[in-house]
Structure 1
Amino acid sequence: MNRLYPLVLEHRLPSPVRYGISACIMVVCAVLQTALQTQTGAPGYFLLLPGVFLSGLIFDRGSGIFAAFIAIGVGAYLSYAGGFGIDFLATNALFAITAAGTAIVAEFQRAELRRVMQADKTKTLLLQEMAHRTKNNLAILGGMIRLEARHGGPEVAAALEATARRVQVMAEVYDHLALKEDSRSVNMRYFLNDVVEKVFQSLAPSGPVAFQVVCEDILLPNNHALALGMITNELVTNSLKYAFPGDRPGNVVVSLSKGDGIELSASDNGIGLREGAEPGGLGSRIVHLLTQQLEGEITYERLDPGLRVQVRAHPR
C-alpha cells in the first residue's frame, strides 16, 4: 500500500498535465469502445466508465469530471447513428448521470484511500518511534548494570557485565529493525556483524584474535533475529573467554544460512573441549533454552583444533 501512496496522493502534476493524461486515458477507452461497437454492431458505453473512474482516482475531482465530459461526448457520438430522438436523449442523459456518479465514486474512493494510507504511514512512524525509545531504554539499562558492576566483587562484576552484554544485544536489534507492511524484519547480515563486533569490543581478547561473519542479506522476523543474536552473543563470548588462554592467537567464524530452516554456526580454532567434557555454564544453558524456543537442535563438533557449535532451527 505504501507504494501506491506517491502514485495516488503525493504527485504534484500541473493541471494541464493531469487533464492531458486523463484525455489520453479516455482516448484509449474510446478506441476500445469504438472497436467493440464495430465488431458487434451494438452501441455501448461501459468501456468508457473505467477511464472516468481511473482519472478521478489517480488525479482529482476535476480530472474525473473532465473525463466524464469526454465520455459523455464520445457516448453521444457513438449513439448518434440511430438518429436524434427521445431514445437518444434518454440514453445519453442516463449515461451522463452514470458518468458523473462514477466520477463522484472515484473521488470518495480517493478520499478513503488517502485516509487509509495516511493512517498506515502514521502507524509506521509510531512503530519506528517506539522501537527507537525501546532501544534507548535498553541502552540506559545496560549502562546502569555496567555502572553497578564496578562496585561489586570480581564474580559479581563478571556476571553483571555478561548481563549488560545480553541487554545490549536486545537493544541492538532495534537498530536493524525494518518495518515492512505488517511485519517487522531484521537484516541478519548487519545485525550479526554488530553483535560480534560489540562482544569483541567488550571482552577485548589479549591475543590477536580475529572474527569473521559469513551471512547473506537474510531477513528474519524480529523475535527470531533476537533469539539468534542472543545465541551468537553467548557462543562468541564463550570462545573469547575459554578458547584462547593467554596470548594465544586465533579466529572466530560465525555463519548463518537459510534453506528449509535456519542454520547458525559459530566455530573457533582455540583449545576446544576436553574429551568427555560437556558445556554446562549459564551461557550454554541460555543457548539451549533459546534453541528450544526456535524449535531447533544444537550440536557440538570437536575440531582439530577448536570447536564448532551448530544450531539448526525451524521456527514457525
Structure 2
Amino acid sequence: MRYLVTVALVALVAWIQYSWIGDAAFRYPFLAYFPIIFITGAFLDRGNGFFATVLSALAVSYFFMEPRYWIDVINRSDQVALALFVVIGFAISAVVEALHTGLVSLADEHARVSEAVRDREVLLHELAHRTRNDFANVVTLLNLQARSANAEAREALTSAAERVQTIARVHRRLELRGEHVFVDTKSYIGELCADLRLSRLAMRPIAIECNAESHSISLEKAVPLGLIINESVTNATKHAFPQRHGSIIVDFRQEGEAYKLVVADDGVGQRNGPESGKAGIGNRLMGMLAAQLGSKIEVEPRSPGTAIVVTIPVKIAN
C-alpha cells in the first residue's frame, strides 16, 4: 500500500505538469518532485523516499527530456541534471527517514519513561498508604495502652503516640519530583499545627498561630523538623502557661541561605534547653533532631516568654 501511494503521488505530479503547467514544466521538471520525495520519506518511510526519487527521475526523463517518451537522455547537461536530482533525492530521503526513525524511537522511549514514572508514582502512593496504615495502628495501640496506665506512663505513651503521628503526617504530604521525594513545608507545618491545636490545646486557653512559607524539603529532613515543632509546642503547653492563658507562634521561613524555624510563646519565661543538665527527654530529643538538620537548638529569652530557634542550612535541608 505504501508503494502504491508513492506511485500514485508521482503519477499525479507528472500528469499535472504535463497537462496543466505547460512550458514551465520543461524548463524546471525536477522541482515539483522534491515535495513528493520529502512527504513519502517522512510519512510512508521504509524506503519510499528512495522509491519516489527513482520514479520521479524516470517520469522526468520520459516526459520532459529529449528524446521524449523514451527512457534515455542524450543531452549531456540533462544527464548531469538527472544525476544531480537522484543524488539530492537520495540525500533528502536518507535524512528524512533517519529523522522519522529517530522521532519514532524518541516517542517510544518517551512512552516507556512515562509508563515507568506512572508505575513509580503508583508504587509510591501504595507505599505511603500502607505506611500511614501502619503508623495509624501503632498510634492506636499506644493510645489503648495509655488508657490502662498510670498518670506518668499515660503521659509518656501519649507523647510517643504524638511523635509517631507527626512522622505519619510526612507520608501524607509526599511529592515525587524526578528521582527524589519532597514535602511542602507550608501544608505540612500547617497540618501539624492544626492537629496540635486539637490534641494539646483543645481544653486549654492557649492559641497557636502558624506562619510557614512554602518550600520543598527532603523526606529525611521533614521528619526531624516536624518532631522539633511537636516537642517545642508540647513543652510550651506543659511549662510556659501554668494556670494562665497565652499563645504560641510557629514561624518557618527562608532567610538567605538558611531556613529558620521559630517556636515562640508568651509564657512565664526561660525553659531548660537541650544542653541543660535538667533537660528532659523531649529537650534531649530536640537536640538530636537538630543535629540531624545540621543545626542546634537555641533558646532565646523574650519579654514575655521564650523562643526555640533552629537555623537549617538550605543545602542540607534539600
Note whether the superposition's TM-score is higher than 0.5: yes
Q: Relative to structure 2, which stretch is displaced further, 286-295 or 120-129? A: 120-129
Q: Secondary structure at the match of 2:198?
A: helix
After TM superposition, the runs of 4+ consecutive aligned structure 1 residues lying more than 6 A away are 274-277
Asked whether the equivalents of residues 267 and 307 of structure 1 are also in contact (C-alpha less than 8 Å), the reply is yes
Is 1:151 paired with 2:134? no
Distance (whole Å) between structure 1 residues aligned to residue 213 and residue 44 of structure 2: 48
Counterpart in the other structure of 1:194? 191
Instruction: Tell whether the 8 Å contact from 2:272 to 2:279 is kept in structure 1 after alignment.
Output: no
Quote the offset at 1:168 in angstroms.
0.1
The alpha carbon displacement at 1:216 in A equals: 1.5
How much has 1:200 moved relative to structure 2? 2.5
CA distance in 1 between counterparts of 2:122 and 2:272 reads 54
Equivalenced residues, count: 250
Number of the residue aligned with 1:106: 103
- Considering only CA atoms, is the larger Rg found in Structure 1 or Structure 2? 2
- The one-letter code sitting in structure 1 at the alignment partner of 2:249 is V
Please report how far the alpha carbon of residue 95 of structure 1 lies from its aligned counterpart in structure 2 after TM superposition.
2.9
Separation in 1 of the partners of 2:201 and 2:145?
Answer: 20
Tell me the distance in 2 between the aligned counterparts of 1:211 and 1:64: 68
2:253 pairs, out of 245, 254, 257, with: 257
1:211 counterpart (208, 213, 233) = 208
How far 1:236 moved relative to its partner?
Answer: 0.3
> So what's the TM-score if we normalise by structure 2?
0.70
Question: Does 1:309 pair with 2:308?
Answer: yes
Whole-Å Cα distance in 1 between the matches of residues 89 and 190 of structure 2? 68
Alignment of 1:1-316 (within 5 A): 63=43, 65=45, 83=78, 84-204=81-201, 206-246=203-243, 248-258=244-254, 259-273=256-270, 278=276, 280-314=279-313, 316=316
**Structure 2 CA distance for aligned equivalents of residues 184 and 288 of structure 1:** 25
1:296 counterpart SS class: coil
In 1: Cα distance, 2:122 partner to 2:307 partner: 41
- What SS does the aligned partner of 2:310 have? strand
Identity %: 27
Once the two structures are superposed, residues 95-130 of structure 1 have per-residue CA deviations (whole angstroms, 9 ceiling, x without a partner) of 324423332232122112211221122112211221
1-structure distance, mates of 2:117, 2:203: 50
Change (3 A) 1:133 1:198: same
Q: Larger deviation: 96-105 or 207-216?
A: 96-105
**Unaligned segments of structure 1, at least 5 residues:** 1-47, 56-60
TM-superposition CA deviations, 1:172-220 (whole Å, max 9, x none): 0111111112221111112112112222322235442111111111221
Q: What whole-Å deviation, never above 9, does each CA across 1:70-118 have from its counterpart, x for those lacking one?
A: xx89xx89xx9x8542332243134324423332232122112211221
2:42–2:96 CA contact under 8 A, matched in 1? no
